[in-house]
Structure 1
Amino acid sequence: MSAALTLGKPEHLDKILPLITAFHAEEGIETTHEDRQAGIAPLLDGIPHGAAYLIGPPRAPIGYIVVCFGWSVEFGGLDAIIDELYIRPGVRGRGIASEALIALPRALSQYGLRALHLEVDKTNTAAIKLYRRAGFQPRDNYMFMSRSL
């Protein structure tokens, strides 16, 4: 099984929405279908604030990654946060997420991306191990914080 990344486009909406729904259900994220569609459709339309990538064959993706772009003085330019990463449960444990996490920075660095960040539940040891294998490291004395508006 391949972790090939395909940049999401409007024609992929019906393929990615069920994956997002499954991820949100698994993580206990309470959103409506309308909210999920409103969150992903602009990315598929090419809004410059982020991108969605299908993992695996575009006609039958096995997962997805969403990245949101920002700017960092500290990192010297364009940076991004991995907002969501999901692999179907039936194909987990085969190295697909690792492959995708290694391919994503390669794909984005050609556009000047200087840093890639993500957030992980401190109790999710499997995810932490995966992210460390892909080169992500915790930043001492830093904690990701959020405020809903």
Structure 2
Amino acid sequence: MLVVNPPLQDVLPLFRALHNFHVCLSPHIYHSDGPDAEYLAHLQTQCDHGATIYAQDAGWGLVAYLLAIPEDAAGDGLRRGGKRIKIDHLYIAPTHRGRGLGHHLVAAMERDMCQQGIRRWVVAQDATNTPATDFYVRVGAEPSALFLAKYL
């Protein structure tokens, strides 16, 4: 069952799992030592600034979630302005992958976007996470930028 903006305490185990995945990908950037209160404060701050959480409830708890953050870019002499959604988190519990839950969450977000007149979403992720890249392409995203980094 789709749940929009579930209690953050219910999202916390999935958020921790996603963050631990990021720690494994980039231990030079992330650590997993933060207390639950800091994780919850991070999620609450995002929600306070207009983020929406789409989650999948399996009847006994959440098994997937997507955090969608609205962004409003002002236009200027060089660029067009407009609203868009940034997918900041998308996580499916390993036990529930391959069941279409990611597609379901993105579709729910896109329905809400259309109702709000928003026609574009973006996502950024670690370049080594090819399963995520493949997923976003399957739901219709196309590469639009390349971000390079160098750590010394």
TM-score normalised to the size of structure 2?
Answer: 0.76
Verify the 8 A CA contact 2:55 2:105 in the aligned structure 1: no
TM-score normalised to the size of structure 1?
Answer: 0.77
Verify the 8 A CA contact 1:56 1:63 in the aligned structure 2: yes
SS of structure 1 residue aligned to 2:112: helix
Percentage of matched positions with identical amino acids: 27
1:100 matches 2:112: no
Verify the 8 A CA contact 1:63 1:86 in the aligned structure 2: yes
- Give the 3 Å change call, closer, same or farther, for CA 13–58 of structure 1 in structure 2: farther
Letter paired with 2:42: G
Match of 2:87 in 1: 82
- Give the 3 Å change call, closer, same or farther, for CA 89–109 of structure 1 in structure 2: same
- Give the 3 Å change call, closer, same or farther, for CA 39–101 of structure 1 in structure 2: same
- Any idea what the Cα deviations from partners look like across 1:79-125, whole Å, max 9, x if unmatched? 11101111111011122112222221112221122311001222322
Query: Which of the two has higher C-alpha Rg?
Result: 2
Which deviates more from structure 2 when the two are superposed, residues 54-63 or residues 123-132? 54-63
Q: What root-mean-square deviation, in Å, do the aligned CA atoms of Structure 1 and Structure 2 show? A: 2.4
Which residue among 121, 135, 140 is the counterpart of 2:140? 135
Verify the 8 A CA contact 2:9 2:40 in the aligned structure 1: no
1:111 matches 2:116: yes
Q: How does 1:49-68 map to 2 (within 5 A)?
A: 49-57=50-58, 60-68=61-69
Match of 2:39 in 1: 36
- Give the 3 Å change call, closer, same or farther, for CA 96–114 of structure 1 in structure 2: same
- Any idea what the Cα deviations from partners look like across 1:38-86, whole Å, max 9, x if unmatched? 1112445xx2432222223576111111111111345652111101111
- Any idea what the Cα deviations from partners look like across 1:18-54, whole Å, max 9, x if unmatched? 111111112214251232111112445xx24322222
- Give the 3 Å change call, closer, same or farther, for CA 27–58 of structure 1 in structure 2: farther
Verify the 8 A CA contact 1:49 1:70 in the aligned structure 2: no
Ranges in structure 2 where 5+ consecutive residues have no aligned partner: 24-29
SS of structure 2 residue aligned to 1:126: helix
How many aligned positions are there? Answer: 137
Ranges in structure 1 where 5+ consecutive residues have no aligned partner: none
1:17 matches 2:12: yes
